[in-house]
Structure 1
Amino acid sequence: MRRIICLLFLAAGVVRASGAPPSKGAPEARTTPRPKNVILVVGDGMGPAHVTAARWLLGDKLQLLRMPQAAFMSTYCADEAVTDSGAAASAFATGEKANYHAISVAPDGTPRTTVVEVAHANGKATGLVTTTDFWDATPAAFAAHAKERYEEAASIAKQMVASGTDVIIGGGIDERGTAPLPTPDELKAANRVMAKGLAELQATTAPRVLGVMQRQDDDLEDPAAPLAVLAKWTIDKLSKDPDGFFLLIEEEGIDSSSHSNRTDNLRKALAQYDAALGVALDFASAHGDTLVIAVGDHETGGLRIFQTRDKHRWRIEWSSVEHTGTSIPLFAFGPGAETFHGYIDNTDVGKALLSFVGK
């Protein structure tokens, strides 16, 4: 058994050293219908067992059941077998592997063009909505560049505010994090209005907005600004652009609750994710030109679902407080959904997104 295990790890090392073979499940996006709008709904830390748990918790109301296309996705990054959120989001944003903790840069630090930058250059509206700090890894990868996301958090926040992204919404209202809120001069230079809290956000008509809310990892029971509400407001705003839009929606509470092995918080985070996904799917169902992708960036917690002596009950157990290398399910709905099938890599998602928002 020891020899078999060693051989398996050796084989994995060879794959990482030489580069993984190209995945077979993602054909060229150009051969499929191009959507006018693309909505990427990321469940941070959401692996296959999280999806199974959501199915049991929400039953037939689970919004993922509305999505007919599915694939399975690898998540490793350029220099590690198990990714972090920065490298994972960079793969979505650029179609290329990044180092652990990197934000949309090559291993030598060279910035890579992102989906949001391409969409903006082609006249599309763009938005980034998250339940954690607005400068956190997943949204940051679409509008900033950094070799080390924790050491460069303040720079990332400044880059995002100065970017062409039309709507940025996330935590930061309490300024407790590692990046300060932008100054009035920085907002003016970016032609951006900052709205603090949901009421201010809903009242603004500014073309370029930074909405700062409470981080929802502290307020999962009854958040002041539910992700579904933020998603609908953003979709309503971006959909006014005749050239279409790209929108990232992230529920980060799945990851934070999995890191702490808090099953009670995980239930709430999964419900919030699914509600926001439902908003995106409702819009896509009413408009035949919108692609919705639902996916995790990596798995967190080594979540397992076990049977009990009572056949009508089941239980959740955790095997880790860290990320794992488990492959991730992806679901898609709308024009271009057939791009995703079989076993793919997270860079395949990024390549498809770039094709969809480009000329």
Structure 2
Amino acid sequence: MSNDAPTTEPERTRAPNIRDVARVAGVSYQTVSRVLNDSPSIRPETLARVRAAIDELGYRPNQAARALVTSRSRTIGVLASQTVHYGPATSIQAIEVAAREAGYRLSITNISSGDYASIKSGLDYLMSQSVEALVVIAPQVRVFEAIADLQVAVPYITLESTGQNTQHSLWVDQVTGARMATRHLIDLGHEEIMHISGPQDWIEAEARMQGFLRELDDAELRTRAPILGDWTASFGYYAGLELLRYRDFTAVFCGNDQMALGFMHACREAGLDVPGDISVVGFDDIPEAAHFAPPLTTVRQNFAEIGRRSIELLLGELQGERDLSHEPVRPELVVRRSTGPRSGR
């Protein structure tokens, strides 16, 4: 039995193109192209008609095609590593906001390891996207050594704290931040202070450890070998359980807020009061730090300022500006209730 009912296929749709815009606006597609490329020779009434047609059709320019015509991709590459951590993830967010406000977008690639092959692969990918500039957020020293070897041909900024390559780097002064945290504990009367550090191969971890050791040395206090951690709350917890078996210290400076959270958990399990028995300081000022129990004293990094300044420096370099300021961003000590005077025990 046949079915005489007509069958219809759904109407196929496609994204509007530049010729559709030209047809609706009543102009040539070359005129639409000049509008898209901000040509100053377009009459105001023509400009208004083309923009109205773009809005009506919901037209979105093909960025790759525009890059071929203008030799401008309006794209900034980001080479990142370990973006699961608060610092790198927040830096990328701040950079993206600053880039968007300047009319740029990001092309991001995350390298899974710091070996030379991974770094080269990541850079090759970004260069294939015709990025105009590059931000590197990779915390291991070997990443920056590889970048120097590969001779990156576009303006670039590395977010790292060594201060060794001031022409291409921008950083929060990690050493100063660590010294501020340690000095705060010293000013509260603490003389026996432990440091739970981040991973040994991280630039920031090394800088914070150096700041801690220098401040103790300047105060002529005994220095102890830092405990090398992995940034996690779990490590802070288990390190705390081990350290509290001896409890021959009255304060701890943790290399980040997550390890401080874990350490305070260990203190609660041991029946110790923070800060009555032990004072604790972290680093980063993650959003949750103000809600720890007790709220955490920590060192705040201005990631929004880092993002704004990194884009400002790159755009200045693209425009041929000289004498751009690469001064480090100064951190801020945020004092909350996890620190107090040394107990009289």
Superposition TM-score tier, normalisation by shorter sequence: under 0.3
User: Please, what TM-score do these two structures have when normalized by structure 2?
Assistant: 0.27
User: Please, what TM-score do these two structures have when normalized by structure 1?
Assistant: 0.26
User: Bigger radius of gyration, 1 or 2?
Assistant: 2
More strand by share: 1
- The answer to which structure, 1 or 2, has the higher relative contact order (CA under 8 A, 6+ apart) is 1
